[in-house]
Amino acid sequence: MQLYRCQICGDPYLGTAPPTNCPFCGAPEKYIVLAGEYQDRNHIPNLSARSRENLVKALDLEVNNAGFYMCASNCAPDPVAQAMFKALSKIEAEHASTICKILKVPKPEIKPDTHACQKDPLANFAAAHEREKRAAAFYSQSAQEAMEPRVQQVFTALTEIETDHIHIAEEWK
């Protein structure tokens, strides 16, 4: 067994090989390193006003989407859709944690958003599709606007992960 860490969320993973995607934040394998090679890059002195503003918006978006998926999971009538929404909720909550580490703010409580989700899982996958498209577009723009390499890296990874989620929502809606 080897101990790996994700360069995006920092979480550790034990396995015989690196995972194809971080089990916690969904980042693709290229961000997974051996634990000894991991560098904590979340301390960014003089974070630019634009990056801070984009990270604050991103945090709000992630908390919102995590709450939406949590509700969608609770409402889903079949165990497979329940599990899919739960997986997505956990990933979005992990994104919120990662952003909080850079902003040095406590992680907001994430609760099921009963106003945002519906009873019908197909409607929730259609809503998820729109949410993920908005998130990916905003993160891609935020990556371009970021002056700091770490902020660029995180927004680029988030763009990649939410793009995977767009594909999932497309297949399921």
Contact residues for Fe ion, defined by CB under 5 A = 6, 8-9, 22, 24-25, 27, 62, 92, 95
Select 27 or 70, whichever has its Cβ closest to Fe ion. Answer: 27
CB of 158 to Fe ion, least distance (A): 6
C-alpha–C-alpha distance, residues 18 and 31, integer Å: 10
CB of 44 to Fe ion, least distance (A): 18
C-alpha–C-alpha distance, residues 160 and 165, integer Å: 9
109 residue type, one letter: E
Tokens of 94: 């992990």
Select 25 or 146, whichever has its Cβ closest to Fe ion. Answer: 25
Provide Rg for the chain, Cα atoms. 16
Could you count the other beta carbons within 10 Å of the beta carbon of residue 130?
Answer: 12
Q: How many CA atoms lie within 13 A of 92 on its CB side?
A: 33
SS3 content of the chain, % helix, strand, coil (to 5): 60, 10, 30
CB of 127 to Fe ion, least distance (A): 15
Write down how long the chain is.
Answer: 173
Burial class, 128, CB count within 10 angstroms (exposed 0-12 / middle 13-18 / buried 19+) = buried
Select 8 or 72, whichever has its Cβ closest to Fe ion. Answer: 8
CB of 93 to Fe ion, least distance (A): 9
Select 27 or 76, whichever has its Cβ closest to Fe ion. Answer: 27
Select 40 or 119, whichever has its Cβ closest to Fe ion. Answer: 40
CB of 113 to Fe ion, least distance (A): 15
